[in-house]
Structure 1
Amino acid sequence: MASASCLLTEDQFLCSICLDVFTGPVTTPCGHNFCKNCITEHWNTSVQCRCPICKRLYKTKPELQVNTFISEMAAQFRQSAQQKASSSSSEQQAAKPGEVPCDFCTGTRLKALKSCLVCLASYCKTHLEPHLKVSGLKTHQLIDPVENLNGRMCMKHNQLLQLFCKTDQMYLCILCTTFDHKTHDVVPLKEETKGKKAELGKTEAEVQQMIQKRQLKIQEIKHSVRLSKEDAVRELAEGVQVFTALKASIERSQAELIKTIKEKQITKEKQAEDFMKELEEEIFQLTKARSEVEQLLHSEDHLHLHQRLSFLKAALPAKNWAAIRVQPTSYEGSVARAVAQLEETITQPMKKLFEAELKRVKRYEVQVTLDPDIVHPKPAQSNDKQQVKQDNKCRCVLSKQGISSGRFYFQVQVKKWSSWTLGVVRKSAIMNRDTTLSPRNGYWTICFKWSIGYYGYFAAGTPSVGLSLKKKPEKMGVFVDYEQGVVSFYDVDAAGLIYSFTGCSFTDTLHPFYSPCSNDGVKIHITEKDCVLL
């Protein structure tokens, strides 16, 4: 029996339905062998009774008996195959988590090499051999191993999904076209795949373009970081240089102040010491004179008395000490003068520093036309915080241009206006017709007000911040860094920083804002027509 089995090929011991060694093999009238359960289930689920191999049609289901000869041969082959599988399994790798396992391995399930779309099963190297050798199995479609092969079966007819219905946009089996989709536009899945692949080609191009855009964005971000780093290094260098110079100037001024005060004190102490020495010397002389006078008072030598008295009077100190005063040294104003001198010393380097800063922010300059002469007048809140006076005309102008990211800088001539308000306003704040000028309400502005008995600059807010300027600016510059939350105001001609709003949180578009009237931080009234400007 063993020698006979060696003369048979392996595919003769395998059922062409389950692709495993025969279990209870039966022979059909056409001479083909199958597992009894396999052929019985196949005919029970089929509309017609055909041989799965030669396709012979039987009008009535044939009676099938177990083929004992094939059964014995299959048992021997199964034993031989198990031994062979045991030896080869040691050479193959077990399926790891995430890998597709062989559906026919017992015990340790090996990694599948292929999946069969006809058998709906996955096979390791050993169990794949029938598909590579058996003529009836070579026609099966093999693909790289995949899981859930049952998902490729029609749930209604338990047949392989091989067709695509364009009408209903769904996958079908052969039997589906006989019933529900009989009149629909149905094509083989392979044909539909060609169109999908063309669509995938477009998707691939789009994905590639998206990748390129993101790569460019990475380069843009890297470039921004590099520029930021260069700016940081430059700013640090300039800052260290400036503050080192300031520190040196302060230390020199401090040393000069200390030296001046100490020299004054030493001079005063020397003067007092000289006076005291002179006084002590005169006291000594006067003490001697008094002693001699006492002796003369008790002397009986009249001639000697007359002679010494004239000498004593001539020898007495004649200096009038009543007119001499040693006043405490006054140091009032010494510190103030030293600070003033220090300010003069650092004014020049500070000016150069602000000039450099202004030059940098001007790189973000935008052309914004702000001409309050061409806009309609509107009322503004009076200074006494009472009702709006209709005769108090005030004009405001807002630019249509605005930013919601990045940085921008613009300049405004203010020299011809006796009072003005300048800055930026949040877009949503424009809709509020009556509002107090403050960052809390979406206004970042500084104001200049001139009237009888009052002259001053301030940053509008709650509360407002008074500003001290040495000269009246003629041209103002406004710089906004949206991401950093900074609004800075500059005197362009003096190249000086006037004031900065910092730590701001911008969430809306910002628009340049200008008003040549005394909006002193109380309230401003905006109408719709005033928001459509150049």
Structure 2
Amino acid sequence: MSAGSNQRSEDQFLCSICLDVFTDPVTTPCGHNFCKNCITQHWEDKVLYECPLCKDSFFARPQLNINTLLREMVDQFRRERQQEASSSSSEQQAAKPGEVLCDVCTGTKLKALKSCLECLTSYCQTHLEPHRTVSGLKRHQLMEPVENLEDRMCRKHDKPLELFCRTDQTCVCMLCSVLDHKTHELVPLREEYEGKKAELGKTEAGIQLMIQKRRLKIQALKGSMKISKDAADRETAGGVQVFTPLMKSVERGLDQLVEEIQDKQKTTEKQAEDFIKDLEQEISELMKRSSEVEKLSRSEDRLHLLQSFSSLKAAPPTKDWTEVRVRQPSYAGTVVRAVDQLVETLRKEMKKLLSKNEVRKKVQQYAVDVTLDPDTAHPKLILSDDGKQVHHGDERKILPEKADRFSQSANILGHQSFSSGRFYFEVQVKGKTGWDLGVARESINRKEKIIARPQNGFWSIRLRNGNQYEAAAEPPVCLHLQSGPEKVGVFVDYEEGLVSFYDVDAAALIFSFTGCCFTVKLYPFFSPCPNYGGKNSAPLIICPVNQDMKTESVSSAVGIPKSSPGESVSCSY
């Protein structure tokens, strides 16, 4: 008999009184079969004898004889089931360390497949078979195997823990609900289990968010380390350029210069590495907690989840990293101080090196006349008649709808476009607490809220809150400027893929995007930012550029080494 036919015919061999396979089956006059012992005990002390199934009555106790045909069929069924159980047992392996053991196995303990909350017993595949085949046992509640099933019984009343008391935050039995907790708020374990499981899901999501924020913070700190190192390398190279051609008498000054820069850089790296180490430690703790929460949230063990919930609900204590920054060392005047120690004969070289107008003159030769394009202006922007000034107004003007106009962000583009060569323009930002300046692709999104960054077609720097300067890279790069510029110069070398920003009055490089790939038209890009209650009401002003300079190569003027595509560099002054 196959397993399928065995399963189908099994109910035919079950006694309706003991709910087990017949033992010495007998047949009543009404045609129903029972174990001989079961029906005999059922009729004990009875005056009226009736069939337990169809309720037919017999005034005299029927003479019952064993149904030999049915007994042979039952015996064959028992043998086949034992053979199947023996075969199934041989295929199973002994339980491994940490696995729940079958409580019924003798000798080698097999791995438990399920635990029964009614029997308070764990069963392997073989010993679980009655719970899958016997009608009475089929109604028992099975669950994933767990140890210590006695912990699921009320220690006071020896009843299953089926309810959760929200008042006392504990699991109770039915007797507890009418005795010790009758005035408390009680709910089924399943209801509280689902609620706590949902809370654990939120807790896990919160922990994952904390982990993500810290990973982003690590990226930002590593970016700051790279910028700091690049600045240190450039400053060191500048020092080497100044000191190398000099006599041996100035070599000591050069060594002191390099040592000072490297000490500052090492201090900066040490600070950043300490921050990263702390962040990685917090991530490790959070990932450990996340693993525990995830494991618990997937558990079908309602009691274990509820008992462990309080200890895992809250995330482990962590540090608030929002305002943590790596302090960038200032190299301002490092070379100057070293050169000042040189002999009088070097003063001429020092003056040449420190000439404020040198860099400005070399990029100013590419000056272009830029005017603002009113067809691109956001409706709250107010332009001067000559197209050289723009500031933010409080009221949104009713303007013709144009495809080129910015609808959501308070931006405006220049009239002039550039698709080759080099160009330069200057903008006065004096008196403002917020602004954006740079260049943008012709194809940028103008109808939705935008994030100005190279991936979206913007190469710009910005000021926020009066003192927070950033390069709009991905992620943003903090620019640590000693003093805010009053006039900003924007220089673009289309073929070289270079966008540089200068403090015009200080003749200092603020930041450069290098290795950019330009394939479409570029437009000057401006945003005066909102008024903020009149604090930022000053306009952006496109200024005329002084033209008295010599024609020289711009690459030698800016003094920036070529970088790989996508790399950005900055200097702090």
TM-score, L = length of structure 2: 0.33
Higher helix fraction (1 or 2)? 1
In terms of Rg, which structure is larger? 1
